[in-house]
Amino acid sequence: MIRRTLACMLTLGLVACATQPPSPAPSPQASDAPNKPAHGHKGPAEAAPEAAAATAPPVDLTPVPFEVARARFVRDTAARYGIPAAHIEATLAQAQIRDPIITAMSRPAERVKPWNEYRPMFISQARIDGGRAFLAEHRGELMRVQERTGVPAEVIVAIIGVETSYGRNTGSYRVLDALYTLAFKYPRSGDPAKLEREVRRELFFRDELARLFALTRDEKLDILSIKGSYAGAMGMGQFMPSSYLDYAVDGNGDGRRDLFTSYDDVFSSIANYFVRKGGWVRGGPVAVPATLQAGREPFDPTDWTPTWTLSDLAQRGYQPGMPVAAGLTATPITLEASTGKQYWLGFQNYYAITRYNLSKMYAMAVYQLSQAIAGQELPPA
- 118: number of CA atoms within 13 Å, CB side? 23
Q: How many residues does the chain have?
A: 381
How far apart, in whole angstroms, are the C-alpha atoms of residue 285 and residue 328?
A: 9
| Of the candidates 120, 134, 207, the residue with the CA atom closest to the CA atom of residue 164 | 134
How far apart, in whole angstroms, are the C-alpha atoms of residue 300 and residue 115?
A: 15
Helix (H) or strand (E) holding 75: helix 66-81
Cβ atoms of 128 and 158 within 8 Å: the answer is: no
Biggest CA pair distance of the chain: 67
- Is 110 in the active site? no
Q: What are the residue ranges of helices labelled H in 279-355? A: 310-315, 348-354
The contacts of residue 371 (CB under 8 Å, 6+ apart) are: 154, 378
| Backbone phi, psi, residue 332, to 5° | -75, 145
How far apart, in whole angstroms, are the C-alpha atoms of residue 104 and residue 297?
A: 38
For helices 263-278 and 153-164, give the axis angle rounded to 10 degrees: 100
In angstroms, how far is CA 211 from the centroid of its own chain?
A: 17
Distances (CA, A) of 12 to 90, 95, 181: 21, 19, 14
Distances (CA, A) of 65 to 62, 69, 70, 179: 10, 6, 9, 18
How far apart, in whole angstroms, are the C-alpha atoms of residue 342 and residue 198?
A: 35
Helix (H) or strand (E) holding 292: strand 287-292
Q: Which of 163, 198, 202, 208 is catalytic?
A: 163
Q: Is 375 exposed, middle or buried, given 0-12, 13-18 or 19+ CB atoms closer than 10 A?
A: exposed
Catalytic residues: 163
